Amino acid sequence: MVEYPEIDRYSSLDSVMHRFDPRAKLIAFLILIFSIVLLQDLKLAFIGLLGAILFLIASKLPLRFVLQHIKWVCFFIVPFILIMPFSVHGTGIFHFHGLTLTYEGLEYGILVAVRALAAVIIVLPMIATTRFDITIKALGELKMPNMLVQMFMFTYRYIFVFVIEFQRTWRAMVARGFQMKTNLYALRTIGKALGTFFIRSYERGDRVYQALRARGYTVKPKTLVEFKMRASDYVWTVVIIGFAVSLHVVPFVEVT
Amino acid sequence: MREAITVRDLSYKYPDGTKALEDVNMEVHEGERIAIVGPNGAGKTTLMLHLNGTFRCMEGEVELFGKTVSKLKRAEIVKEIGMVFQDPDDQLFMPTLFDDIAFGPINQGLKGDEVRERVDKAIMSLGLSGYEDRAPHRLSFGEKKKASLAAVMAMEPRILVLDEPTANLDPYSRTELIGILNELNDREGITMVIATHDVNAIPELADRIYALNRRIIETGTPREIFFDGELLKQNKLDVPDVFKLFDVMRCFGFNCDKLPLSLDEAVSGLTRVIETAGGHIHLHIHEHTHDEVKKWREKYEHH
Amino acid sequence: MREAITVRDLSYKYPDGTKALEDVNMEVHEGERIAIVGPNGAGKTTLMLHLNGTFRCMEGEVELFGKTVSKLKRAEIVKEIGMVFQDPDDQLFMPTLFDDIAFGPINQGLKGDEVRERVDKAIMSLGLSGYEDRAPHRLSFGEKKKASLAAVMAMEPRILVLDEPTANLDPYSRTELIGILNELNDREGITMVIATHDVNAIPELADRIYALNRRIIETGTPREIFFDGELLKQNKLDVPDVFKLFDVMRCFGFNCDKLPLSLDEAVSGLTRVIETAGGHIHLHIHEHTHDEVKKWREKYEHH
Amino acid sequence: MVHISDGILSLPVLAAGWAITIALIAVALWWSKRRGNVEEEIPKLSVMTAAFFVASLIHIPVGPTCVHFMLNGLVGVILGILAYPAIFIGLVLQAVLFQHGGITTIGVNTVNMGVGALIAFAIFRVGSMYGSLVVRKELSAWIFGALAGGVAVFLTVIFTAVSLILTSREAFFAVAITLMLAHIPIMIIEAIVTGSIVVFLLKVKPELIGGLGDDNK
Ligand SMILES: Nc1ncnc2c1ncn2[C@@H]1O[C@H](COP(=O)(O)OP(=O)(O)OP(=O)(O)O)[C@@H](O)[C@H]1O
Ligand SMILES: Nc1ncnc2c1ncn2[C@@H]1O[C@H](COP(=O)(O)OP(=O)(O)OP(=O)(O)O)[C@@H](O)[C@H]1O
Ligand SMILES: [Mg+2]
Ligand SMILES: [Mg+2]
Contact (CB<8Å) C168/B169:
no
* Per-residue 3-state assignment (H helix, E strand, C coil) for chain C: CCEEEEEEEEEEECCCCCEEEEEEEEEEECCCEEEEECCCCCCHHHHHHHHCCCCCCCEEEEEECCEEHHHCCHHHHHHHEEEECCCHHHHCCCCCHHHHHHHHHHHCCCCHHHHHHHHHHHHHHCCCCCCCCCCHHHCCHHHHHHHHHHHHHCCCCCEEEEECCCCCCCHHHHHHHHHHHHHHHHHHCCEEEEECCCHHHHHHHCCEEEEEECEEEEEECHHHHHHCHHHHHHCCCCCCHHHHHHHHHHHCCCCCCCCCCCHHHHHHHHHHHHHHCCCEEEEECCCCHHHHHHHHHHHHCCC
Predicted confidence at residue D127, as pLDDT, reads 87
B256 in contact with chain C, both atoms CB, cutoff 8 A:
no
- Cβ neighbours of D59 in A, within 8 Å: 1
Residues in A closer than 8 angstroms to D22, CB to CB, are none
Q: Are residues A162 and A97 in the same domain?
A: no
Task: Let me know if residue A1 belongs to a domain.
Answer: no
User: pLDDT of B242-285, one tens digit each?
Assistant: 888 888 877 777 777 777 877 777 777 778 878 887 777 777 77
0.95 surpassed by complex ipTM: no
- Across residues C37-45, what is the average pLDDT? 89
Residue of C46, C93, C118, C152 to mutate, interface with A, max A Cβ within 10 Å? C93
| Spacing, Cα A250 to ligand 3 middle (Å) | 61
C16 CB near ligand 2 (under 6 Å): yes
Tens digit of each residue's pLDDT (9 = 90 or more) over A63-93: 999 998 998 888 888 888 888 888 888 777 7
Which residues form the pocket of ligand 1, taking CB atoms under 6 Å from any ligand atom? B 14, 16, 18, 20, 38, 40-46; C 140-141
Cβ separation of C104 and A215 shorter than 8 Å? yes
| Residue A117, domain member (yes or no) | yes
A205 and A234 belong to one structural domain: no
- The CA C166 to ligand 4 mean position distance, Å, reads 13
Residue B49 CA: nearest ligand 1 atom is 18
Shared-domain flag, residues A38 and A154: no
Q: Which of A7, A190, A200, A207 to mutate to test the interface with D (most CBs of D within 10 A)?
A: A190
Express each pLDDT in A209-238 by its tens digit: 888 888 878 777 677 778 888 999 999 999
DSSP at A3: -
Is there a contact between D113 and D35 (Cβ–Cβ < 8 Å)?
no
Assess whether A62 and A21 both reside in one domain.
yes
Contacts of A204 in chain C (CB under 8 A): 89-90
CA of C46 to the centre of ligand 2 (A): 7
List pLDDT tens digits, range B184-210: 899 989 999 999 988 888 988 999 999
pLDDT tens figures, C85-118: 988 988 898 888 999 999 989 888 888 899 999 9
Q: Which of A131, A26, A6 is nearest to A68 (CA)?
A: A6
Chain A to chain D Cβ contacts (< 8 Å)? 230
Mean pLDDT: which of A100-104, A226-230, A231-235, B227-231 is highest?
A231-235
> Across the interface, which of C244, C283, C297 has its CB nearest the CB of B274?
C283
Position A120 in a domain: yes
Confidence of residue C280 (pLDDT cuts 50, 70, 90): confident
Identify which of C19, C13, C24, C21 has the alpha carbon closest to the alpha carbon of residue C62: C24
Atom of ligand 2 nearest to the CA of A203: 1
Which of A181-195, B279-293, C232-246, D186-200 ranks highest by mean pLDDT?
Answer: D186-200
Kindly determine whether residue A156 and residue C95, on different chains, have CB atoms separated by under 8 Å: yes
**C192 has which bridge partners?**
C33, C160
Domain encompassing residue A110:
6-130+226-247
Does B14 or C186 have the greater pLDDT score? C186
Q: Does C266 touch chain B (CB under 8 A)?
A: yes
Q: Tell me whether residue A254 is in a domain.
A: no
pLDDT tens by residue, B46-70 = 999 999 888 888 889 999 999 999 8
Instruction: For B8-26, write each residue's pLDDT tens digit.
Output: 999 999 877 789 999 999 9
> What domains can be seen in chain B, in order of their start residue?
3-234 (3.40.50.300), 241-300 (no CATH)
Is the C-alpha dihedral spanning D48, D50, D53, D55 positive or negative?
Answer: negative
What is the mean predicted confidence (pLDDT) over A153-161?
A: 91
Chain B residues with CB under 8 Å of D204 CB are 95, 135, 137
User: Which of B44, B193, B196, B236 to mutate to test ligand 1, by most ligand atoms within 8 A of the CB atom?
Assistant: B44
Q: Which residue has the higher pLDDT, D149 or A189?
A: D149
Report whether residue B141 contacts ligand 2, using a CB cutoff of 6 Å. Answer: yes
**Please, which chains are in contact with D (at least 3 CB pairs closer than 8 A)?**
A, B
What's the Cα-to-Cα distance from B124 to each of A92, A155, B10, B118, B154, rounded to whole Å?
77, 42, 38, 10, 11
Pair (A42, A99) in one structural domain: yes
pLDDT of residue C302: 56
User: What string of pLDDT tens digits covers the 217 residues of chain D?
Assistant: 578 889 889 999 999 999 999 999 999 888 888 877 777 788 889 999 999 999 988 877 766 666 788 899 999 999 989 999 999 999 999 999 989 888 999 999 999 999 999 999 999 988 888 877 777 878 888 899 999 999 999 999 999 999 999 998 888 888 888 888 888 888 998 999 999 899 888 888 888 886 544 433 3
Residues A99 and A175 in one domain: no
Inter-chain residue contact C302 with B172, CB threshold 8 Å: yes
Q: Which comes out higher in pLDDT, residue A10 or B301?
A: A10
Task: Name chain C contacts of B274, Cβ cutoff 8 Å.
Answer: 252, 283-285
In a domain, A136, yes or no: no
**Residue A84 and residue A13 in one domain:** yes
What is the distance in A from the centroid of ligand 3 to the CA of B40?
7
pLDDT at A254: 67
In-domain check, residue A197: yes
Mean pLDDT of chain B: 86
Percent of chain C with pLDDT over 70: 98
**How close is the Cα of B69 to the center of ligand 3, in Å?**
22
pLDDT at B248: 80
Going by pLDDT thresholds of 50, 70 and 90, the confidence category of residue B1 is: low
Mean pLDDT lowest among A25-39, A223-237, C249-263, D48-62: C249-263
Q: Does B274 touch chain D (CB under 8 A)?
A: no
Domains of chain D: 11-208 (1.10.1760.20)
Q: Number of folded domains in chain A?
A: 2
Q: Pick the residue with more confidence: C191 or B257? A: C191
Q: Give yes or no for B95 touching D (CB within 8 A).
A: yes
Task: Give residue A202 CA to ligand 2 midpoint distance, Å.
Answer: 16
Cβ under 8 Å to D: B residues 1-40: none
Buried b (16+ CB within 10 A) or exposed e, A108-127: bbbbbbbbbbbbbbbbbbbb
Q: Which residues in chain A have their CB less than 8 angstroms from residue C109's CB?
A: 221
Do residues A88 and A15 both lie within one domain? yes
Q: Are D163 and D176 in contact (CB under 8 A)?
A: no
Q: Assess C89–B contact: CB distance below 8 Å, yes or no.
A: no
- Residue A192 belongs to a domain: yes
Asked whether residue A125 is assigned to any structural domain, the reply reads yes
| A123 shares a domain with A231 | yes
Instruction: Give the per-residue pLDDT at A167.
Output: 86
Mean pLDDT of the B219-238 span = 84
Query: Which ligand is closest in space to the CA of residue B85?
Result: 3
The answer to whether the CB of C50 falls within 8 A of the CB of C8 is: no
Residues A71 and A97 grouped into a single domain: yes
> Same domain, yes or no, for A71 and A169?
no
A232, A201: one domain: no
Could you tell me which residues come within 8 angstroms of residue D144 by beta carbon, excluding any fewer than 6 positions away?
D123, D124, D127, D128, D131, D198
Q: What is the pLDDT of residue A181?
A: 78
